[in-house]
């Protein structure tokens, strides 16, 4: 860990936090609720703050530079591309199912279903962003 920069350490911590908190989202999809999604958002914030504080406490040199900013931008670009692509796929599927008469908008759980889908998109984009940044650091950019 000594050879990693401060920014790189925080990225590994973010990835761990994302996988711990969001991981169950993909496996407990049927049991999701608005409260569960809200709980995950609170949990990720709390876990991120705790992990970042620990890393900051044990890292003397917390300098970031132009390369860190460039890698950060690459990560956000990858995340944006993923969320935009998933949005297009999602809209196409919505259009397809509604055309085939398979969408039941009178279903009381339709709102929760959309919440799950959109939250899932954001989760995938967030993990992609972090993973892209880690790969960029490992490749030395």
Partner 1 sequence: MPAIRNQIRELRAQREITQQDLADRVGVTRQTVIAMEQDKYSPSLETAFKVALELGVPIEQCFQYDPKGKR
User: Quick check: 132 and 74 in contact, CB under 8 A?
Assistant: yes
* Nearest CB to partner 1, comparing residues 89 and 141: 141
Closest approach of Cβ 67 to partner 1, in Å?
Answer: 5
- Give the helix/strand (H/E) hosting 128: helix 110-138
* Nearest CB to partner 1, comparing residues 102 and 139: 139
User: Quick check: 59 and 3 in contact, CB under 8 A?
Assistant: no
* Nearest CB to partner 1, comparing residues 71 and 123: 71
Rounded Cα distance between 117 and 90, Å, is: 8
Rounded Cα distance between 89 and 52, Å, is: 34
Closest approach of Cβ 138 to partner 1, in Å?
Answer: 11
Closest approach of Cβ 7 to partner 1, in Å?
Answer: 8
* Nearest CB to partner 1, comparing residues 3 and 31: 3
Rounded Cα distance between 69 and 13, Å, is: 18
List residues binding partner 1 (CB under 8 A).
3-8, 61, 63-68, 137, 139-141
């Amino acid at each position: 860990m000594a050879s990693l920069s401060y920014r790189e350490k925080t990225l590994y911590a973010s990835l761990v936090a994302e996988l711990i908190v969001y991981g169950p989202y993909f496996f407990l999809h049927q049991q999701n609720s608005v409260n569960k999604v809200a709980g995950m958002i609170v949990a990720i914030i709390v876990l991120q703050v705790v992990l970042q504080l620990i890393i900051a406490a044990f890292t003397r040199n917390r300098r970031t530079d132009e390369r860190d900013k460039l890698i950060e931008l690459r990560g956000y670009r990858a995340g944006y591309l993923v969320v935009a692509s998933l949005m297009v796929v999602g809209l196409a599927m919505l259009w397809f199912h509604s055309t085939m008469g398979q969408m039941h908008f009178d279903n009381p759980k339709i709102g929760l279903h959309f919440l799950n889908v959109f939250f899932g998109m954001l989760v995938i984009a967030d993990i992609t962003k972090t993973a892209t940044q880690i790969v960029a650091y490992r490749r030395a950019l």
